[in-house]
A and B are shown apart, each in its own frame.
Chain A
Amino acid sequence: QKEVEQDPGPLSVPEGAIVSLNCTYSNSAFQYFMWYRQYSRKGPELLMYTYSSGNKEDGRFTAQVDKSSKYISLFIRDSQPSDSATYLCAGSGGSNYKLTFGKGTLLTVNP
C-alpha cells in the first residue's frame, strides 16, 4: 500500500463549480500536508501547506486535514479554466524534508 493514495480521476467540471480533491495517507508520522499544482509539461508548484489537523484558506482554495481519519482535502471555489491541471497531495514527517506524493488527480474545468 502506498503511503499516500489519491484518486487519479480524471475529474471534469463546469466553470464556477466547487471542486473537491481528496487523499488518504497511512503514515502516522506525517505532520505537514501539501498540495501541489502541475500544469501540462511543467514542474509541480506548491499551492498550499497545512501543519497537523485543521483548515487553511487562500483565496479560492481551502486545504483541510483530518489526522484522526488520515484524510486530506483541497476545495476549489468558483473554479476557472485556468485551474485545469494535475493536483498532487503530499505528506511529510518534516525531519528529513522528504515528501511522499500521491499520484495526482487530473482536473479539467470547462468554460
Chain B
Amino acid sequence: DAGITQSPRYKITETGRQVTLMCHQTWSHSYMFWYRQDLGHGLRLIYYSAAADITDKGEVPDGYVVSRSKTENFPLTLESATRSQTSVYFCAISPKPYEQYFGPGTRLTVT
C-alpha cells in the first residue's frame, strides 16, 4: 500500500454522463498524476499537478477536467463520458523525480 486510494474501483456509466474519479494520498507529496492505460497504448498521462491549485495537461487531456484544492486530493472528472474513455485509470504520487507510486486503479466502462 503506497498510501494512495482510488474510488470507485469499478464504474459503469452511460455515454454523456459526468463521472468523477477520486484520488487520495495519505502523504502530502506535491506531485500527483492521472494516467489511463489501454491495450496497445500503454500508460498515457492525462493531467498532473505540481501542488494545490497548480495543474497542467499531459498527453491526452481532451474530455477531462481536474482540480486540486487540497494537497491530498486530486479528482479527475469526465465532463461528458464517451465510449473511447472506457479504460483503466491510475492515479500516482511522486515524492522524487524518479519515483512514482501508483494507486490500485479504477476500471471505467462507458456504455
Contact = CB atoms under 8 A, between A and B. Distances in A.
Interface of A: 6, 32, 34, 41-46, 49, 51, 88, 92, 94-99, 101-104
A41 B102 CA distance: 13
B36 to A, nearest CB: 12
Given A43-B103, A44-B102, A102 B97 contact: no
Question: Interface centre among A6, A43, A94, A104, by most B CB within 10 Å?
Answer: A43
SS of B interface (majority): strand
Nearest to A46: B99
Given A43-B90, A96-B50, A98-B48, A49 B42 contact: no
Contacts of A49: 98-99
A99 B103 CA distance: 16
Interface residues of B, number: 23
A44 B43 contact: yes
A39 to B, nearest CB: 11
A98 B99 CA distance: 10
Contacts of A97: 31, 48, 50, 94, 96-97, 100
19 contacts: A32-B98, A42-B104, A43-B92, A43-B102, A43-B103, A44-B43, A45-B101, A46-B100, A46-B101, A49-B99, A92-B98, A94-B97, A96-B50, A97-B97, A97-B100, A98-B45, A101-B43, A103-B40, A103-B41
